[in-house]
Amino acid sequence: MFSSAVSTHPFRPLRHRAVRLLWSAALVSDIGTWVQLIVVGSLVARDTGSAVQTGLVALATFMPQGIASPIGGLLADRFDRRRVFASALLLQASMTTALAIVLGAGVREPAVLTAIILVASAAGALGAPSYQAMLPDLVEPDELLAMISLGVYSWNGGRIVGPMLGTLLAAAVGPAWTIGFNALSFVGLSAAVWSLRRTFQPLGGVDGTITERLVGGWRALRIAPGCFHGVVIAILVNLTLIPFMGLIPIYATREFDGGTGLVGAMSSAQGIGAIIGGLLVTTLAAHLRRSRLMAFVIAWLALALLAYSQAPNPVTVVLCAAVLGAGTSAFFVTTSAIVQRDAPPASRGRIMSLNQASMGVSYGIGLMTVGLIGDLVDLRIAFALGAVALVSGFALARRRSNTWTEAIDGEPRAIVELAHA
């Protein structure tokens, strides 16, 4: 049981000034990111009618994690994590400004838009491991799960407000100025990070070549049981279920003849559900074993995705999106807390970068696979197959592991740092 190790108050971390500052700025930035995702995704879905082309826009936002995150992990374990994160945000703001300029010039070619988003997202992926590695240093250990949940509230608060704001802004000032708002939000978050009154220098030296340091991070991840099992299950969920997010614009267009309004409603409903799911899992984690909680959430996700695939009308699909959002956030809050719980401080940046990289790559593969099945056969069938694959993969992973329950439920393990880790 975790009642003595997990705070049941979902907003307790906000008592820290640094957390309040970062969280409020991140909320604005997340709103801007969702404005961009909805506006650009809807443009491509309307102009191409292709699930693959629409998926590529979403993929460009998340796929760079697979390449840039490991580099960001090296930076996070070598330099002040605050400086690395703030600098990456400024680079991301510059590339998002370039996207706004291109849209203002009338360019609508999906390949061009995708390429710019890809570079901007790569800049963000360079800084993400530093941010993740900072979190355990911002709060007490029993507040870590609640701190991760705050990120869920921020991201999904943006998911709720962003689509509605994006729809209004796109209609009022056009897509270019709308994307410009997102660029400005990155600048604001960077300023908030720079204003923190302390440094976040990694503990211990990191020596050796780049290859040796990356291998050291992998070895640290591999011998930390909670980290390894959490990453494996996160990969499975990204392969089978998470692709539904990137395909919302084409699903709304093709199956329900909806436009930006329905896309925004589905995304906002998912965000509302995610916030509820984050609050729920923060409370349940204090009373249930995490292995049991995770099995429950996997079943929840599979059933919700199956219902989503068979939704008969726009109202039903919006409700299904909300249920999926709740389950998704509950899953990622739980797995992220387990990974960060077991990650050794000196290699935390590299472990978090490997976690993000694996999720980015698996999401990309899943998104293209589901999108291709949707184009060749049917999106509803593609989502239903994903639900079946999720349950089957989870059952297989648990059966093949002799230490599943101990790894997920166990107390933080004291990991001895390896040479060059």
Return the CATH number at 142. 1.20.1250.20
Top-confidence residue, 315 or 144: 315
Q: How high is the pLDDT of residue 62? A: 66
Is 416 part of any domain? no
Question: Per-residue pLDDT tens for 94-153?
Answer: 999 999 999 888 887 778 888 888 888 888 888 888 888 888 888 887 788 788 888 878
Q: What is the pLDDT of residues 169-207, one digit of tens each?
A: 887 888 888 888 889 888 988 988 888 878 888 766 556
pLDDT at residue 168 greater than cutoff 70: yes
Q: What's the pLDDT score for residue 392?
A: 94
Q: What is the pLDDT of residue 259?
A: 75
At residue 1, the pLDDT reads 34
pLDDT at 208 over 80: no
Tell me the average pLDDT across 202-213.
65
Cβ-proximal residues to 206 (8 Å cutoff; 6+ apart), any chain: 74, 77, 78, 213, 346, 420
Please report how many Cα atoms fall inside a 13 Å half-sphere around the Cα of residue 68, on the Cβ side: 20
Q: How confident is the model at residue 5 (pLDDT cuts 50, 70, 90)?
A: low
pLDDT in tens, 228-286: 888 888 899 999 999 898 888 888 888 888 777 788 788 888 888 988 888 888 778 77
User: In which band, very low, low, confident or very high, does the pLDDT at 4 lie, cut at 50, 70 and 90?
Assistant: very low
CA distance 399 to 401: 6
Which structure tokens are listed for 46? 């309307």
93 vs 403, higher pLDDT = 93
Residue 271 lies in a domain: yes
pLDDT of residue 8: 54
114 φ, ψ (degrees, to nearest 5): -65, -40
Q: Is residue 418 part of a domain?
A: no
pLDDT in tens, 40-93: 877 777 777 776 677 677 667 666 766 788 888 888 888 888 899 999 999 999
In a domain, 7, yes or no: no
Mean pLDDT across 213-222 = 74
Tell me, what's the pLDDT at 327? 92
Q: Is residue 421 part of a domain?
A: no
Residue 74's pLDDT is 85
C-alpha distances out from residue 157 to 26, 197, 271, 274, Å: 10, 27, 6, 9
Burial of 287-325, coded b for 16+ CB within 10 Å and e otherwise, reads ebebbebbbebbebbbebbbbbbebeebeebbbbbbbbb
Q: Residue 143 and residue 322: Cα distance in Å, rounded?
A: 26
Name the pLDDT band for 301 (thresholds 50, 70, 90). very high
Q: Is a pLDDT exceeding 60 seen at residue 399? A: yes
Which pLDDT score is estimated for 421? 42
420 found inside a domain:
no
- Averaged pLDDT score across all residues of the chain: 81
Task: State the residue range of the domain holding 229.
Answer: 12-409
Element of type H or E holding 166: helix 144-173
How many domains is the chain partitioned into structurally?
1
DSSP per position, 173-193? H-HHHHHHHHHHHHHHHHHHH
Q: 315 or 205, which is more confident?
A: 315
Residue 4 lies in a domain: no
* pLDDT beyond 70 at 376: yes
Tokens of 322: 């909300």
Residue 414 lies in a domain: no
DSSP state of 263: H
Q: Note the pLDDT of residue 158.
A: 79
User: What global pTM score does this model have?
Assistant: 0.70
Find out whether 245 and 305 touch, Cβ atoms under 8 Å. no
The gap between the terminal CA atoms of the chain, to the nearest Å, is: 32
For the segment 385-394, what is each residue's pLDDT rounded down to a tens digit? 999 999 999 9
